[in-house]
Amino acid sequence: MAKITFNHAGGDVDVLEVEPGTSLMRAAVTNGVAGIVGECGGQAMCATCHVYVREEYLDALPEISDDEDEMLDCTVEERTDRSRLGCQVTVGEGLDAVEVDLPESQV
């Protein structure tokens, strides 16, 4: 199992244990973690699964594809160096734990 920690904008924290191969978006949506919408079902088409990945995990992440890069420019909350689309980051091999901060809004 892999561990995902979601820090909500208001200070609440959700910690999930999920199957390897699960995206942050699917994990959040399936487990009722508020703050991630995932309206396009993980196609990198809606930018409503925006997360800020904590510094210490950034290096372990897969590279940002062109599509993800362009969609990240269109998030509702400001993009930073820690911004990723939750549907494009999958836990498992090389990333058995990750911690992210959630933006205040997604739509």
Partner 1 sequence: MDTTARDRIVITGNGQAGVQLADSLRAAGFTGDITLVGDEAAFPYQRPPLSKDYLAVRDGGAAPAPLPLRGEKFFADARLDCRTGVAVTGIDRNGHTVNLSDGSVLAYTKLVLATGAANREPAVPGAGLAGIHGLRTLADAEAVHRRLDTVRNAVVIGAGFIGLEFAAAARARGIAVTVLEYADRPMARALSRPTSEWFAAAHRQMGTALRLGEGIASFTGDGAGQVAAAVSTAGHTYPADLVLAGIGVTPRTELAEAAGLAVDNGIAVDASLQTSDPDIYALGDCASYPQAHAGARLRLESVQNATDQARHLAGTLTGTVPAGPYAELPWFWSTQGALKLQIAGLSAPGDQTVLRGDPRTGRFSVFCYRDGALAAVESVNQPADHMAARRLLAAGRTLTPGQAADPDFDLKAYAKRVPTSLGT
Which residues are at the interface with ligand FES (CB under 6 A)? 25, 38-40, 42-49, 71, 85-87
Minimum separation from the CB atom of position 58 to ligand FES (A):
18
Q: Work out what residue 49 binds among ligand FES, partner 1, none; the CB cut-off runs from 5 to 8 Å by kind.
A: ligand FES
Which of 104, 107, 103 lies closest to 50, judged by CA? 103
- Cα maximum dimension of the chain: 32
Q: Work out what residue 85 binds among partner 1, ligand FES, none; the CB cut-off runs from 5 to 8 Å by kind.
A: ligand FES
Closer Cβ to ligand FES, 11 or 46, answer by number? 46
- Cα–Cα distance measured from residue 96 to residue 90, given in angstroms and rounded to the nearest whole number: 10
- Per DSSP, 88 falls in state G
